[in-house]
């Protein structure tokens, strides 16, 4: 029998409305300051190219998976004005953010959280745009975040095939949900059997393959190069590894070179390459441990390991843009008890620390290797790792936080 969820409560709808309102207000405040760093201009260029019948990847460079293209195109169908496109895109993202809040509320209900606990969690989620600032609605990360929230709810309510499809769509929009595929396979196998697990995973992979197939047939080399560019990116200047190198630059005189490439500012050179490889190895090891050693046995463990998987991906990544924190919000909100509070506190530190320098002092880092910003980058990375550790600690070792 499928677990049932109660209908949407007034509190859930209110939280979704507050989230969208705060996100739009924060976006307006930062935009009014003149310090906003946005990607919407690039998204509009992609949309204009598609409206001119140019083929993505083949006729213009595209760094994102093809599932992101409809998101870029939608606001351009309404307006060609740059400012109107910006606000149309922001409004669209606010809707996805509100959907993510509602899906999270439904998952909390499915997990059996008390009304008081649900209200408290949703209140925190509702006001979280204050910490995220102006970047929340100027990137499209809320779309895959909402799709991951949908997949989680579908798993909790025993709809594994639909969950696989939702996760596949999320990965077609932005790759990061791919790291949740092993958890999908393990959970469905244990709960519904091998055949259903194979079908759910095949559904996820089929959706991703279908998103790429038409463009891969038209421009196989260009699609392959786009994928490789993302995999082979250098050490981005906001990653934990880059922050450590900046600190060593000031403490020990380590020579560092900064260049702009792959759509970001990066540290290059031998030391940066070594650190990037070390981070990647640590990230793969952390993910493998979550997948293999901490297999989900019940719904509470499932949501906790899903959050841990995403924290590992972000914390140990050689690229850590501020919007990646959006990936963590809805999964973390489902983690219960003291463990959830502890991990949430670490996440709040990471989000607030990011808001201190982004966008206000971001360019001080690549231009001057600012020691304060570099130290804050390290603090954020350590806070994310601390949250990961809290989430993956076995129960016997985490009684004080679980």
The predicted model gives 21-31 an average pLDDT of 94
- Domains identified in the chain, total number: 1
The predicted model gives 371-396 an average pLDDT of 93
The answer on pLDDT for 252 being more than 70 is yes
The neighbour count for residue 89, using CB atoms within 10 Å, is 25
The answer on pLDDT for 73 being more than 80 is yes
Task: Please give the structure tokens belonging to residue 368.
Answer: 């001057």
The two most distant CA atoms of the chain are separated, in Å, by 63
139-143, 232-236, 377-381, 384-388, range with the lowest pLDDT: 232-236
Is pTM, for the whole model, over 0.85? yes
The answer on pLDDT for 349 being more than 90 is yes
The answer on pLDDT for 319 being more than 80 is yes
The answer on pLDDT for 6 being more than 50 is yes
Residue 401 has a pLDDT of 45
Q: Average per-residue pLDDT in the chain? A: 93
The answer on pLDDT for 399 being more than 60 is no
299: in domain = yes
DSSP annotation of 60 reads: B
Phi, psi of 258 (to 5 degrees): -115, 135
Residue 400 has a pLDDT of 44
222: in domain = no
Q: How many CA atoms lie within 13 A of 27 on its CB side?
A: 22
Residue 396 has a pLDDT of 59
Residue 94 has a pLDDT of 97
Residue 339 has a pLDDT of 94
381: in domain = yes
Residue 135 has a pLDDT of 87
- The residue range of the domain holding 258 is 233-392
**Cα separation of 345 and 352, whole Å?**
11
The answer on pLDDT for 1 being more than 60 is no
Residues 6+ apart with CB under 8 A from 151: 163, 164, 166, 167, 170, 177, 180, 184
Task: Please give the structure tokens belonging to residue 88.
Answer: 């149309």
Residue 3 has a pLDDT of 52
Residue 102 has a pLDDT of 98
Is the C-alpha dihedral spanning 104, 107, 113, 116 positive or negative? positive
Residue 297 has a pLDDT of 79
**Cα separation of 149 and 307, whole Å?**
11
The neighbour count for residue 239, using CB atoms within 10 Å, is 29
The answer on pLDDT for 35 being more than 90 is no
Better-scored residue on pLDDT, 6 or 110: 110
197: in domain = no
The H-or-E segment that residue 51 falls in is helix 40-51
The answer on pLDDT for 394 being more than 80 is no
**pLDDT class of 231 with cuts at 50, 70, 90:** confident
60: in domain = no
248: in domain = yes
307: in domain = yes
- Contact between 247 and 374 under an 8 Å Cβ cutoff? The reply is yes
The answer on pLDDT for 65 being more than 70 is yes
The answer on pLDDT for 258 being more than 80 is yes
**pLDDT class of 163 with cuts at 50, 70, 90:** very high
375: in domain = yes
**pLDDT class of 7 with cuts at 50, 70, 90:** low
């Amino acid at each position: 029998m499928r677990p049932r969820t109660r209908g949407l409560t007034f509190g859930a709808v209110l939280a979704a409305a507050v989230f969208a309102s705060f996100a739009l207000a924060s976006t307006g405040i930062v935009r009014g300051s003149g310090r906003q760093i946005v990607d919407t201009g690039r998204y509009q260029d992609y949309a204009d190219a598609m409206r001119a019948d140019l083929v993505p990847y083949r006729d213009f460079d595209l760094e994102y998976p093809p599932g992101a293209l409809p998101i870029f195109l939608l606001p351009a169908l309404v307006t060609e004005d740059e400012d109107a496109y910006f606000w149309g895109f922001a409004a669209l993202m606010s809707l996805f953010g509100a959907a993510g809040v509602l899906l999270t509320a439904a998952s909390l209900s499915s997990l059996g959280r008390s009304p008081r606990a649900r209200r408290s969690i949703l209140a925190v989620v509702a006001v979280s745009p204050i910490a995220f600032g102006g970047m929340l609605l100027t990137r499209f990360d809320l779309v895959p975040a909402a799709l991951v929230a949908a997949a989680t709810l579908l798993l909790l309510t025993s709809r594994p095939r639909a969950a696989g499809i939702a996760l596949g769509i999320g990965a077609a929009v932005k790759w990061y949900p791919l790291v949740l595929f092993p958890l999908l396979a393990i959970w469905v196998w244990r709960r519904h059997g091998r055949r259903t697990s194979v079908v759910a995973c095949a559904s996820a992979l089929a959706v991703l393959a279908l998103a790429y197939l038409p463009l891969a047939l038209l421009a196989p080399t260009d699609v392959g190069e786009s994928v490789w560019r993302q995999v082979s990116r250098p050490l981005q200047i906001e990653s934990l590894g880059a922050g450590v190198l900046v600190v060593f630059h000031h403490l020990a005189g380590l020579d560092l070179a900064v260049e702009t490439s792959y759509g970001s500012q990066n540290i290059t050179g031998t030391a940066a390459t070594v650190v990037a490889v070390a981070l990647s190895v640590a990230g793969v090891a952390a993910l493998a441990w979550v997948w293999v050693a901490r297999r989900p046995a019940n719904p509470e463990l499932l949501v906790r390991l899903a959050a841990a998987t995403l924290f590992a991906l972000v914390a140990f990544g050689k690229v850590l843009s501020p919007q990646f924190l959006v990936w963590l919000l809805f999964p973390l909100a489902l983690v219960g008890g003291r463990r959830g509070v502890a991990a949430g506190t670490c996440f709040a530190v990471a989000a607030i620390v990011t808001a201190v320098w982004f966008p206000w002092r971001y360019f001080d880092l690549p231009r001057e290797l600012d020691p304060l910003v570099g130290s804050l980058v390290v603090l954020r990375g350590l806070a994310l790792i601390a949250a990961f550790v809290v989430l993956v600690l076995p129960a016997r070792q985490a009684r004080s936080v679980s």
